[in-house]
Amino acid sequence: MYKRIRKQLAQRQGGDSKRRGACSGVEHVPVFEPQRHIRLLTFNIQVGISTSAYRHYVTRSWQHFFPHRNRIENLDRIASLLSGYDVVALQECDGGSLRSNYINQVQYLAEAAGIPYWHQQLNRNLGPMAQHSNGLLSRFRPLDVTEHRLPGLIPGRGAIVARYGSPEDPLVLVIMHLSLSKSAQERQLGYIQSLIAAYRHVVLMGDMNTHAEHLLEQTPLKHSNLIPLPASAHSFPSWRPEKALDHILVSPSLQIRNSGVVSYPMSDHLPIAMDVALPEGYLETF
């Protein structure tokens, strides 16, 4: 059965050669300023659906398939929050389908928040029904941005890797939305670990669907030496946070100024924020 589902999804997605997201381009984007601190935010926006009780997963489930008049208002409120940050990781965005009134939500949020650079990664292409996507918003011009398809039994999970600063020793940001199953997470994090192993300054951001203790002690990330938020940084569900599923994990070389959960219940997840700075003397190294 799983092979049949995977084949059907691959056919809908048209194979890797046809899987395309969208991007703003970088010509108009200010250059990266490594001497300043960087305000980071990760947010699973649940395609702009406001959820404030478990029953809404049933009563508002139709909004995952059809447009809703309040969705734009919800996106505008989310954009108001995003406007206060420099680099934003977005999960559960729609890239432009029936349910979003054919609006690319990554692009919409970037423009509404006044953030010049955006990159949409299309992970699961269901045609006019849904365009499941991750998103990167940035006030700074990245050196480069690459998309990666994460391994899993059923396709549709991805990661965005953006590099900033010096090509010889860049700041590397990885945005991801991991699967629910522990076995799939193990494979996906093994792949992520292989992407970041050669770098000193790393930030992992996204909805990882498990707690930091598990991530950093029982998965391939145990070799990464990354620093998490406190275990009490619960982000799910947004109306009664009990689980820490959303994370910003950083290398010890980065200076953490502030971090925590942002009380902004516009989705079923709460956003996570962190201010970081590159190590002192970074500019003088090159």
Q: What is the pLDDT of residues 73-105, one digit of tens each?
A: 999 999 999 999 999 999 999 999 999 999 999
Helices (H), 124-246: 182-196, 212-218
CB atoms within 10 A of CB 26: 18
The Cα 103–Cα 38 span in angstroms is 29
Q: Hey, what long-range contacts does 282-286 have (CB within 8 A, 24 or more apart)?
A: 282/34, 282/35, 282/165, 282/166, 282/169, 283/34, 283/35, 285/166, 285/169, 286/166, 286/168, 286/169
pTM, full prediction: 0.91
What's residue 285's pLDDT? 53
Low-confidence ranges of the chain (pLDDT < 70): 1-20, 283-286
What's residue 54's pLDDT? 86
Residue 22 has which token pair?
Answer: 């969208």
Helices (H), the chain: 2-13, 56-59, 71-82, 105-113, 182-196, 212-218
The Cα 49–Cα 269 span in angstroms is 11
What's residue 69's pLDDT? 87
Of 207, 206, 244, 253, the residue nearest 226 (C-alpha) = 253
The Cα 112–Cα 216 span in angstroms is 36
Domains of the chain: 2-285 (3.60.10.10)
